[in-house]
Structure 1
Amino acid sequence: MNDWTGIAQAVSAGGWVVYPLSLLAVAALTIMIDRAYVFWRYARIPGDVSLRSKHRTGEISGNEMAHPRASTLPARHAWSRIDAILSDHEETPLWRTEARIETAAANIERDMSRGLWLLETIVTAAPLLGLLGTIVGMMRSFRLIGGDGLVSPAGVSSGVAQALVATAIGLVIALIALFAFNYFSRRIDRLMDEIESLANERLGDIRLSRETGNAGARP
């Protein structure tokens, strides 16, 4: 209990700058929870490394590996959106299918990145806002120092406390937001690499089946 009381007192000593910092903290937390749910719900590609190794050794076909239960995934799932294009290729030229996949991949990347720009802004804004609180706190302390010396020791220490607390809160928020931003950015890169790999394998199968069918149709 004493620890929480000390934290509350330290935060209250931060002055008015604690309120905008709190808003930034709430915004960052909201974005992190939202993106965590989105990636968990719409970005998990079924399949593992062993399945890929089986495909390489010929134990399973390319279609089995590159078609990871898309029918059981949500309609907004990243792979479902790609699979819907790949499944509708019978009467579509291959170049058109590839163009549609590129467009869908760009839309998926945009959807997965939604809100990350704000998280990146918080990484920069939180320390600057904390620095502003530091400057205000130090100015408050200097105003209490008159020409004859120290006028109010309690007031000066309060101003210094405000300066230190504002800086500390801003740095903590920025660090958490930075780790979250880098994590989600890395997840997006991995997702796009996985989609590209799976799509290329399916396109290769489609191209091979068409070439084989054309060769079989020749007299």
Structure 2
Amino acid sequence: MSLLVLLQAATPVVEMADQAVQATATPDESYLNLVLKGGWILLPIFLLSLLAIYVIINKWLVINRLGKKDSVWLSRVVELIHEGKIDKALKFSVERSHASAKVIAAGLKEFEMEDNEIQEAMEVEARQQISMLENQMNWLGITASIAPMLGFLGTIFGVIKIFYDIARTNDLAIDTISTGLYQKMICSGAGLLVGVVAYSGYYLLNGRIDKVVINIDKESNEVLKAIRAYKKRGVQA
């Protein structure tokens, strides 16, 4: 009997505790809702992320097209030059779309000129091809620098607002402060993430561009040597 009385007396207490737990419990938030709490500063960071992704994909495709290595084509061009079939070598080069072929075609067009003029024509075309390879790369550098700064700026604005509200309301509740801080730290996290992506893409693409430039220099030198050898043989004959 006494056990039943104790249970009846404890029931209201258990119900009150259960209501308190339900009141303090917060439902799990989705990542999207969490990110959206970062504020308006996330809009320019998001736009910079789209810009970085576009530039990385676009430059990757351009480098694949212009930086293609074709040893069979190069051997054939050198062979045609040794045989004196310059028109065929030029046509064979013009039909190719990669950067080395365009540089060599520029040199073959000046075949009747002096060696230094042929080399100069190749260098001019090489600079144009390198400019096409490096085009838009500055946008990645700008994104890598600005995105983290925007993120920190959003966090600073959030912290200023938190302390302003504290000074205005004289409310030092820890949940208010911590909630505001974690929401504003989202800006810093988003900015750093976009900056890391842009920074990584910038150096990865620059590494590939350097390899293409080295390949252009190597293949144009081989063709220039073949031209000089053919002209020297013709003079001796």
TM-score normalised by the chain length of structure 1: 0.81
Q: State the partner residue of 1:91.
A: 112
Q: Residues 152 and 140 from structure 1, CA distance in 2 versus in 1: closer, same or farther, beyond 3 angstroms?
A: farther
- Number of residue-to-residue matches in the alignment: 200
Once superposed, what is the RMSD of the aligned Cα atoms?
A: 2.7
Counterpart in 1 of 2:140?
119
User: Which deviations, in whole Å up to 9, do the C-alpha atoms of 1:185-210 show, x marking residues without a partner?
Assistant: 11111111000000011101111111
Letter in 1 for 2:217: E
Letter of the 1:47 counterpart:
S
Answer with 1 or 2: which has the greater Rg.
Answer: 2
Structure 1's 65 and 12: CA in aligned 2 closer, same or farther, altered over 3 A?
A: farther
Aligned in 2, Cα 1:121/1:213: closer, same or farther, shift over 3 Å? same
Runs (5+) with no aligned partner, structure 1: 53-59
Is the alpha carbon distance of 1:90 and 1:102 closer, same or farther for their aligned partners in structure 2, counting shifts above 3 Å? closer
Mapped contact 2:107–2:121 kept (Cα < 8 A): no
- Say whether 1:79 aligns with 2:100: yes
Q: 2:231 aligns with which of 210, 215, 218?
A: 210
SS class of match (1:15): coil
> Retained in 1: the 8 A contact 2:106–2:121?
yes
Q: 1:148: Cα distance to partner?
A: 7.5
Q: Could you tell me the TM-score, scaled by structure 2's length?
A: 0.75
1:145: Cα distance to partner? Answer: 1.5
Mark the runs of 5 or more structure 2 residues left unpaired by the alignment.
Answer: 1-28, 82-88
Q: Is the 8 Å Cα contact of residues 52 and 198 (structure 2) preserved in structure 1?
A: yes
Q: Is the 8 A contact 1:144 1:155 kept in 2?
A: no
Which has the higher mean CA deviation after the structures are superposed, 37-46 or 207-216?
37-46
Q: Which residue of 1 aligns with 2:48?
A: 24
2:111–2:118 Cα contact (<8 Å) kept: no
Q: Deviation string for 1:94-127 (max 9, x for gaps)?
A: 1111111111111111111111101101110011
